[in-house]
Amino acid sequence: MKILGIESSCDETAAAVVEDGFRLLSNVVATQIDIHAQYGGVVPEIAARSHIEAINPVIQQALADADCAWEDIDAIAVTYAPGLIGSLLVGTLVARTLAIVHHKPLYAIYHVEGHVYANFITEQSSTIQPQLELPPRAPAFPMLALIASGLHTQLVLFRGHGDYTLIGQTQDDAVGEAFDKVAKMLGLPYPGGPAISTAALNGDPNKYSFPKARMSNTYDFSFSGLKTAVLRALQREIGQDYTFPSHQVAEQLSEAQVHDFAASFQKVAVETIVDKTLRAYEEYQPQSVVIAGGVAADRELRKQLRQQLPIAIEYAPPKLCGDNGAMIASLGYYYAQQNQPVDPYTLEVQPVISMRDTAWANH
């Protein structure tokens, strides 16, 4: 079964064709990073407008790369939630229209769950480049998933496809958002995750110490305190008090200070999510542990989990960790095994909806 996956929930316009949930036939991502970088973050109106310009060419390219005509496509899967409303609307309206015009079943996919399914892509057709370093097999259930992106930080226990429980989530900022905000304070470019990760390579992770948030639910997260602690330490470092504006700090820092702050922040942010993942592993004893979302590309996170988990940590290649259509098409396949398609005339987007309300398996 070949599924066309469409993703436009934030600042990536993406489409891909995946066969039977695991074989990648094409994967096209048009990123808007360069456009938003000049503003230091995603501007929702600009994101929506850019999706409108990019979406048709991106879908055409995904079909062409997969060597597919419309009659070869069995279904369309599209991200309908959560995300920026204007961005979500573009992908869903295009998917609805294509489903009607080409008489294809349409499946509505929850983006955060989609990230996890990047880990289920285990083969790619030899005709598409670049060749990715894919995992040899799909993760086994029960599976513990750490989802860490620019908008989400969640620990989820999957008993089977669509059968999952949210065991913890951030109560304020997502971990990726903390990376992005700290990067901004340090004068590093957007998106902050890769920039911090690279700057940290040359820094001392023990130079500055920051507190870890204590939460009433063991598996919940909080990153806004860490972000403020970094700002206060930066202000102290340059001899200023707490009223000094965060956007003027960077110009007074040396390169070595930037590297040390990046490394010290990254250490605490990563340790926080690793500690909770290890604890959840001990309690639930899953068969596999996967990481997903943009932050899953972080070297330090991968390293700490590799060293500390009793079983092998599983992750997708960096190209499939950020937003993409392949993860949506892969989940679309498993979803289609147990669910009816949605009505393309009435599908609505859901910008804000919790993972607690989205499990779908009917067993």
The residues that touch Zn ion, with contacts defined as CB under 5 A, are 149, 323
CB of 14 to ligand KG4, least distance (A): 10
Q: Is 294 in the site for ligand KG4 (CB under 6 A)?
A: yes
- In whole angstroms, what is the distance from residue 175 CA to residue 224 CA? 9
Contacted entry of ligand KG4, Zn ion, none for residue 176, CB cut-off 5 to 8 Å set by kind? ligand KG4
Contacted entry of ligand KG4, Zn ion, none for residue 186, CB cut-off 5 to 8 Å set by kind? none
> Which of 220, 260, 314, 323 touches ligand KG4 by CB under 6 A?
323
Contacted entry of ligand KG4, Zn ion, none for residue 194, CB cut-off 5 to 8 Å set by kind? ligand KG4
Q: Is 297 in the site for ligand KG4 (CB under 6 A)?
A: yes
Q: Is 298 in the site for ligand KG4 (CB under 6 A)?
A: yes
Q: Is 322 in the site for ligand KG4 (CB under 6 A)?
A: yes
Binding mask 106-145 for ligand KG4 (x = CB under 6 A): ----------------------------------------
Which of 298, 306, 313 minimizes the C-alpha distance to 176? 298
CB of 276 to Zn ion, least distance (A): 20
Q: Show the 3-state SS of the chain.
A: CEEEEEECCCCEEEEEEEECCCEEEEEEEEECHHHHHCCCCCCHHHHHHHHHHHHHHHHHHHHHHCCCCHHHCCEEEEEEECCCHHHHHHHHHHHHHHHHHHCCCEEEEEHHHHHHHHHHCCEECCCCCCCCCCCCCCCCCCEEEEEECCCCEEEEEEEECCEEEEEEEECCCCHHHHHHHHHHHCCCCCCHHHHHHHHHCCCCCCCCCCCCCCCCCCCCECCHHHHHHHHHHHHHHCCCCCCCCHHHCHHHCCHHHHHHHHHHHHHHHHHHHHHHHHHHHHHHCCCEEEEECHHHHCHHHHHHHHHHCCCCEEECCHHHHCCCHHHHHHHHHHHHHHCCCECCCCCCCCCCCCHHHCCCCCC
CB of 266 to ligand KG4, least distance (A): 8
Binding mask 172-211 for ligand KG4 (x = CB under 6 A): ----x--xx----------xxxx--x--------------
Size of the site for ligand KG4 (CB under 6 A): 19
CB of 180 to ligand KG4, least distance (A): 5
Binding segment (CB under 6 A) for ligand KG4, from list 66-74, 235-243, 295-303, 328-336: 295-303
CB of 197 to ligand KG4, least distance (A): 4
CB of 174 to ligand KG4, least distance (A): 7
Measured from the CB atom, the residue of 294 and 344 that comes closer to ligand KG4 is 294
The dihedrals phi and psi of 113, each to the nearest 5 degrees, come to: -65, -35
CB of 150 to ligand KG4, least distance (A): 3
Which positions lie near ligand KG4, rule CB under 6 A?
Answer: 10, 149-151, 176, 179-180, 191-194, 197, 293-295, 297-298, 322-323
